Structure 1
Amino acid sequence: MSAKLSAAAAALQALSNPARLAILAAIADRNQRRVPVVLEELGDLRTVAKEVGRLTEAGLLTKVRGQFVADLTTLGALADAVVEATALGRAIPADSPLRRFLVHGRIRTLPKRPADLDAMAAVLCTLLPNDRTLTEAEVNDYLHQAGDDVAGLRRLLVDLHFVRRSGSAGYEVIEHPIHV
């Protein structure tokens, strides 16, 4: 997994430079129109060659039969690798129906069906340590990995009895399922 994340970081770093991004876009456009890529047409040859080298190292360009080809499918694979590295990406199997409630590894919307809601709460519960009482701020920090509405997620866990709120003392995990 760390190799995939490293590749994603390299691609994002390569794309963070406006000149590289413009070169990649120009090459992708020429590829789509089936026009040969001539580096001299993209700008100063020394600069373009250096930036093409960086894009190639990042896996965004390949050379096929002497022509540079933009490999934009790499971006999707790298995005998938980043999603799999999120807390919910690790906690919810790729083939789980709960994945339909996620966008980019975070909760987009909570399930409506009680069974799905229970299953999502069970997954959220796995993000919390169960060996100690947690403060509200700690619970919020853990749940923020899963979604932006931490108060709603916290209430869900309390309402479904996965977490017990003990007054101002804090929160305790009642049930800590292993898998969903």
Structure 2
Amino acid sequence: MSIVNTVVTMNKESGAVRLAELGRALGLDLKPLSRDVMRLVEAGVLRRDGDALIADIASLGRIGDSVVEMTALCQAIPPESPLRRYLVHGRIVDLPKRPEDLDVIAHALASLLPEDQTLSESEVNAILAHAGDDVARLRRLLADLGLVERSGSAEYRRPAAAPARAL
């Protein structure tokens, strides 16, 4: 990423960048830098214009979008679902107000936890942290709706799967 960042910066300052200029800016030898640049060109993040390099920022957005679609929560909530409006970059930014929507989101969250396995609160938090910032709120939602069982010692268990909710 430091190569891409440097190319972006140099493109803004002076236009296209030559490999030797990039090497000097990064303090890297040309041979290993050349291999890394070739990989970035093959990935579509950089492009060559003769002997100059230009960063393709739009490709980074496309790569980011495809990575977001691979998150567990985006896998649990199909792209065509209206509930996707509660997600930004594959994470919950706000919980729905409508009980029906909240129930569906909660079931999607519950699907992130393994079935019939006892987890500590910190293990549940680590899993839910991939879905949103307020893990305590998400954890309480799952417990309040009975999607996870909580023992007095702060252990959590997701019972065997209930019928899936329509997303």
User: Shorter chain as normaliser: what TM range?
Assistant: 0.7 to 0.9
Amino acid at match of 1:159: D
The answer to which of 117-126 and 154-163 deviates more is 154-163
Q: Name 1:39's counterpart in structure 2.
A: 18
CA distance 1:75–1:130, shift in 2 (3 Å): same
CA distance in 2, matches of 1:48, 1:167: 56
CA distance in 2, matches of 1:142, 1:135: 11
SS in 2 for 1:134: strand
Matched, 1:94 2:73: no
Unpaired runs of at least 5, structure 2:
none
| TM value normalised by structure 2 | 0.72
Amino acid at match of 2:71: T
Shift of 1:170: 2.9
Q: Name 2:103's counterpart in structure 1.
A: 118
Q: List per-residue Cα deviations over 1:19-63 (Å, max 9, x = no partner).
A: x523333336666xxxxx473995769x89945764452122223
Matched-pair identity in %? 45
CA distance in 1, matches of 2:155, 2:117: 10
CA distance in 2, matches of 1:23, 1:153: 40
Q: Name 2:144's counterpart in structure 1.
A: 159
Shift of 1:85: 2.5
Greater helix content: 1
The answer to which of 100-109 and 63-72 deviates more is 63-72
1:9-158 matches, cutoff 5 A: 15-17=1-3, 21-27=5-11, 37=16, 39=18, 50=30, 54-58=36-40, 59-64=44-49, 68-158=53-143
CA distance in 2, matches of 1:48, 1:129: 45
CA distance 1:94–1:73, shift in 2 (3 Å): same
Q: Please, what is the CA RMSD of the aligned residues?
A: 3.3
Matched, 1:171 2:153: no
What count of residue pairs does the alignment treat as equivalent?
158
Unpaired runs of at least 5, structure 1:
1-14, 32-36
Note if contact 1:126-1:176 (Cα within 8 Å) is conserved in structure 2: no
Shift of 1:100: 1.7
CA distance in 2, matches of 1:28, 1:177: 54
| TM value normalised by structure 1 | 0.68
